[in-house]
Amino acid sequence: MASSTQPPYLNPVAPFSATIQGGLQEGLQITVRGTVLASSGTRFAVNFQTGRSDDDIAFHFNPQFEEGGYLVCNTKEKGRWGQEEKTHLPFQRRSPFELSFLVLSSCFQVMLNGSPFVRYPHRVPFHRVDTLSVTGTVQLSSISFQKQSMINSKLNATEQMSPLMPFFTSIPGGLYPSKSIVVSGTVLHSAQSFHINLRSGSDVAFHLKPLFKEKTVVLNTQIDGSWGHVEKTLSGKMPFIRGRSFSVWITCEARCLRVDVDGKHLCDYNHRLRNLHAINVLEVAGDIKLTRLQT
């Protein structure tokens, strides 16, 4: 669930600059929608900065469309840029886009058109940021601000409380293309397994279960009490580690569920239950401590 923290800006004109009311806070999501212009420049930037000056930019998000297109991310302190981070840019000029910047305790998580795109670890304390600016070759349609719900705001601060397992919560509106669900937590040091289920009534549309002894993740669907064919993610190393925190992003697409762990693609799971809107309950259970949910 999410709630608005300040009124949105509709059809703002770039270059654009505005105060983030209350500054950046963990769980705040800022969504920028617009279209990349076909001319008058080859790049634009979204900056999370301190004040209206550009001397201190905690997160510089800079799509550049020359040389095939790439994204530059960086931080600027006291007028000096740090080390650039570059990645492939999966959209082009003339393309409408939706960029969502979610503030997590360790990083910015960026979603592009509803799918996980990039994570940028904090290089400076994010609470210093009080201004958002957008510059460059872009036509903006809206900029909105939402506070994502937490399980318990005290969890990260005290690490002394945890929801009872199994934990159930509703998925408002069920699944639909572009819908994302986030489950974050810490794996217990003695963990054997845990699971994340997306349920439709008594059926389990999607079952994700890391097995630590086998060092693999199994995927499945249960219909009318019977499990289907097991799928295993065997490529690469085990993405979940005992004693370590994790963040699982499940993004619904027309054909499948895309699963990313800590910003890296884990797998695509083809829909076996076709009535997506009926998949409206999230279940989490096993050897973990939950720190955050977004449904």
User: In sequence order, which residues have a C-beta less than 8 Å from that of residue 61 and are 6 or more positions away?
Assistant: 45, 46, 47, 71, 73, 99, 101, 110, 120
Q: What is the pLDDT of residue 155?
A: 36
Q: Which listed CATH number (2.40.10.10, 3.40.50.970, 2.60.120.200, 3.30.70.260) goes with 155-294?
A: 2.60.120.200
Q: Which pTM value belongs to this model?
A: 0.58
**Token pair for 9:** 């800006």
Q: Check: CB of residue 163 under 8 Å from CB of residue 151.
A: yes
Give me the helices (H) in the chain, please: 155-158
Q: What is the pLDDT of residue 278?
A: 93
Residue whose tokens read 């634009």: 44
Q: What is the pLDDT of residue 62?
A: 96
Q: What is the pLDDT of residue 40?
A: 62
Q: What is the pLDDT of residue 213?
A: 93
pLDDT per position in the chain (295 positions), as tens?
Answer: 455 678 899 999 999 999 999 999 888 999 999 998 877 678 999 999 999 989 999 999 999 988 778 999 999 999 999 999 998 888 777 888 999 998 887 889 888 887 778 888 899 999 999 999 999 989 999 999 988 654 443 333 333 345 667 888 888 889 998 888 999 999 999 999 999 999 999 899 999 999 999 999 999 999 999 999 999 986 668 999 999 999 999 999 999 999 999 888 899 999 999 999 999 999 999 999 998 888 8
For the chain, what percentages of helix, strand and coil (3-state, to nearest 5) are there? 5, 55, 40
Q: What is the pLDDT of residue 208?
A: 97
Q: Which listed CATH number (3.40.630.30, 2.60.120.200, 3.50.50.100, 3.40.50.300) goes with 2-148?
A: 2.60.120.200
User: In sequence order, which residues have a C-beta less than 8 Å from that of residue 151 and are 6 or more positions away?
Assistant: 163, 290, 291, 292, 293
Q: What is the pLDDT of residue 69?
A: 85
Q: What is the pLDDT of residue 41?
A: 72
Q: What is the pLDDT of residue 148?
A: 66
Q: What is the pLDDT of residue 156?
A: 39
Domain locations in the chain as residue ranges = 2-148, 155-294
Q: What is the pLDDT of residue 151?
A: 46
| DSSP string of 198-214, one letter each residue | EEETTEEEEEEEEETTT
